[in-house]
Amino acid sequence: MSAENGRSNWLVVMSKAPRMGNVKTRLARDIGATEALRFYKTNTGHLLRNVGRDPRWTTVIAAAPDVATEDAGFWPDEMPRVPQGGGDLGARMDRVMQTMPAGPVVLIGCDIPNVTDTRIAAAFKALGNHDAVFGPAEDGGYWLVGLKRFPRVPSIFENVRWSTQHALADTRANLKGARVALLDTLPDIDTGADYARWKLSHGS
């Protein structure tokens, strides 16, 4: 759980309460709200089982909407929850980065089926000698972002064109002069075509 200098490693999972029509809306337009919700719930469960209880970091759920921090039954009871707050994705991620206790913070979502403890460990290792780390997505976005947050916590999510092929490049543009590490590029499941390729690769 502890990082160098006695600071903790924090893994923050950005997660929405699993309500019909409120999760994976782009995917739902292609495959239907019921199937999109099923994918979201299944993938979130796998993700939290795979990485959520690793002693090398403390896992926190950043929940949306804010009242969902009180929801029982979906997220593991032992994982602390914080509200994401208002604003676009950038504002919500920046709020997490600015308000978490001291130590490196790695943020992930619940869209990527291939996130493993090995990949999360690689992100924290990279922050040992880099200011930031990204896990690029095939669509030009990213499935992971982490900041060393020492000696200061930079704001890196302004003027980012979210849900476009420019999201990673725009975010990196806010990190001029910083040491940036990149992890493996993984597929994001945002569209029906993404979903079909993922199901084919899993033999289902």
Cβ contacts of 200 within 8 Å, gap of 6 or more:
none
- Domain span at residue 179 reads 4-201
- CA–CA separation, 81 and 118 (whole Å): 23
Q: What is the pLDDT of residue 69?
A: 86
Residue 2's pLDDT band (cuts 50, 70, 90): very low
Tell whether the model's pLDDT for residue 27 goes beyond 70. Answer: yes
Mean pLDDT of 110-123: 94
**Quick check: 93 and 141 in contact, CB under 8 A?**
no
- CA–CA separation, 127 and 8 (whole Å): 12
The structural domain count of the chain equals 1
Tell whether the model's pLDDT for residue 14 goes beyond 80. Answer: yes
Distances (CA, A) of 139 to 100, 117, 130: 29, 23, 24
CA dihedral 175, 180, 185, 187 (to 10 degrees): -30
Higher pLDDT, 144 or 6: 144
Tell whether the model's pLDDT for residue 126 goes beyond 70. Answer: yes
- CA–CA separation, 118 and 126 (whole Å): 12
Phi-psi region of 86 (alpha: psi -120 to 50; beta: other; left: phi over 0): beta
Kindly tell me the sign of the dihedral angle through the C-alpha atoms of 8, 114, 98, 17.
Answer: negative
Residue 56's pLDDT band (cuts 50, 70, 90): very high
Beta strands per DSSP E along 2-56 = 10-16
Q: What is the CATH number of the domain that holds 97?
A: 3.90.550.10
For the chain, give the percent of residues with pLDDT over 70. Answer: 96
Chain segment 69-98, per-residue pLDDT in tens: 887 678 999 999 999 999 999 999 999 999
Continuous segment of H or E residues that includes residue 195: helix 192-201
Chain segment 146-165, per-residue pLDDT in tens: 999 999 999 999 999 999 99
Q: Report DSSP letters for 95-124, one per residue.
A: HHHHHSPSS-EEEE-S--TT--HHHHHHHH
Tell whether the model's pLDDT for residue 50 goes beyond 60. Answer: yes
